[in-house]
Amino acid sequence: MSNTFAGLGLFPELVRAVTEKGYTAPTPVQAQAIPVILAGRDVLAGAQTGTGKTAGFTLPMLQRLSRHSHHGGRHAVRALVLTPTRELAAQVEESVRTYGKHSTLRSTLIYGGVGINPQIEALRRGVDVLVATPGRLLDHVEQRTVSLGHVEILVLDEADRMLDMGFIHAIRKILALLPKARQNLLFSATFSDEIRAMAGSLLRDPAMVQVARRNAESELVVQRVHPVDQSRKRALLGHLVSTGNWSQVLVFTRTKHGANRLAKQLVCDGIEAGAIHGNKSQSARTRALAGFKAGALRVLVATDIAARGLDIQQLPHVVNFDLPHVPEDYVHRIGRTGRAGSSGEAISLVAHEDRPLLAGIERLLKRRIEQHIVAGFEPGVAPLATQTQEEVARVPRQGQQRRRGGPASGGAQSEQRTGKRQGAAPGKRPPGGGRRGNGAARRAGDTGRAGAS
């Protein structure tokens, strides 16, 4: 394998664009994938995120499209790249424009969550490379604003995530619209059994590219587990960010609501934070990501789906506030750091109820993750200040009850006074009063505390 882009057989204008981007040597996945794609073969490629998969298919794709002219002298869609998320689609299309800036090829980006009319206008002007999410692409197909009859190269990027998100039926509809004779490139961060099954039906005699063992974590990422009670995760996260002077932290939660809540709580704690997830508008997601990259936000809280495609150079810290239900998603998450040769740190905040999820992750990795209890956040130990306040508040009440003749006497007098205030008949409990009402209030209070954690 060559250790230069020119040695891989790329055109001078592509090598020039790569050099201007600051890259001098291909990554392992690029060194393996580029020659076989240039040769016209189908490819099944798997590599850790951050290893250069996007350039691994973008560069040879642009070269193959540049070898001959447009159909009928116009720009028709000749390469289709499908991605699972808007962020990943935007990242890929940016790479196409960056590496293809010295060519005459045109590209555009279509995804949901934004107006469709500007996309229609871009398609009418002519496009060689179309980067799309499956749902919005089918919207254009139904409106007959795009033709896929001239596609020569199909790329499925992050194919495993597309399957996880239930896009298999949309992908099948799209495949039925493409010419039978085409080159198929399937790129994935992991090689699940489902991915191999898809590859078997889609790819013809594919070249296999895999630069790490199946579902492997990056060796550049230091992983650590901090055992902590669920109710104290937020306080521990704030402590780590503040005492460690962390300036850029990507935090994963399991739900969209959880992402919003955690971001708001961190802001209340004096830490600049924002949230990004599927329910956010595209403009809000773009603003949050731009603020995070620029340093205006120290913490970006995200769900797994929204984080796909986030390309943040030299991201130092990733935190699993909630562990994922699917162990492979852990590999995706920590792959946001330790990219392009840089080191990174992945921290997981693990409560007692998270232990089964941690066990599943460790089985996938075939090793134990180092655990470290942070002083002051030991599991099962409430904060000292909280205990002291409760004790101080409780002691005077007990003393008062003893002086008044005991808890039973004090309780009866209190209940009788409450009844008089509400106009209750003597000897009867006021509506909602008594033991049943107090028990309901306690249960409601427990629910409130659990929801606020």
248, 254, 259, 260 alpha-carbon torsion, rounded to 10°: 170
pLDDT tens for 17-37 read 999 998 889 988 899 999 999
pLDDT tens for 403-427 read 444 444 344 343 343 444 444 444 4
Q: What pLDDT score was predicted for residue 405?
A: 46
Q: What pLDDT score was predicted for residue 164?
A: 76
pLDDT tens for 154-213 read 999 988 888 877 888 999 999 999 999 999 999 887 777 788 888 888 999 999 988 755
Q: How confident is the model at residue 47 (pLDDT cuts 50, 70, 90)?
A: low
Mean pLDDT of 136-163: 93
Sort strands 153-156 and 79-82 into parallel, antiparallel or unpaired: parallel
Q: How far apart are CA 90 and CA 11, in angstroms?
A: 25
Mean pLDDT of 88-100: 93
pLDDT tens for 299-337 read 999 987 766 656 676 789 999 999 999 888 888 888 778
Q: Which architecture characterizes domain 6-210 according to CATH?
A: 3-Layer(aba) Sandwich (3.40)
Q: What pLDDT score was predicted for residue 100?
A: 95
Please name the amino acid found at residue 325.
H
Q: Is the pLDDT of residue 431 over 90?
A: no
The answer to whether the CB of 71 falls within 8 A of the CB of 111 is no
Q: Is the pLDDT of residue 224 over 70?
A: yes
pTM above 0.85, yes or no: no
Q: How far apart are CA 210 and CA 203, in angstroms?
A: 16
Q: What pLDDT score was predicted for residue 158?
A: 86
Q: How far apart are CA 134 and CA 112, in angstroms?
A: 9
- Average pLDDT over the chain, rounded to an integer: 81
The larger pLDDT score, comparing residue 414 to residue 272, is at: 272
Q: Which CATH number fits domain 221-365: 3.40.50.970, 3.60.20.10, 2.60.120.380, 3.40.50.300?
A: 3.40.50.300
Q: What pLDDT score was predicted for residue 1?
A: 65
* Helical H segments across 185-281, by residue range: 193-202, 233-243, 256-268
Cα 116 to Cα 94, 125, 147: the distances in Å are 19, 15, 16
Helix axes of 53-66 and 86-99: crossing angle, nearest 10 degrees: 50
The number of CA neighbours under 13 Å toward the Cβ of 393 is 6
Sort strands 249-252 and 129-132 into parallel, antiparallel or unpaired: unpaired
Strands ordered across the beta sheet of 79-82: 107-110, 129-132, 79-82, 153-156, 183-188, 43-46, 207-210
- Listed in order, the ranges of the chain carrying CATH 3.40.50.300 are 6-210, 221-365
Q: How far apart are CA 78 and CA 264, in angstroms?
A: 45
Flag the least confident range among 87-91, 261-265, 334-338: 334-338
Q: What pLDDT score was predicted for residue 16?
A: 95
Looking up tokens 């200040």 gives 385
Q: Smallest Cα–Cα separation from 310: which of 49, 55, 30, 56?
A: 49
| φ, ψ for residue 26, nearest 5 deg | -70, 150
Q: What pLDDT score was predicted for residue 310?
A: 67
Q: Smallest Cα–Cα separation from 61: which of 2, 109, 10?
A: 10
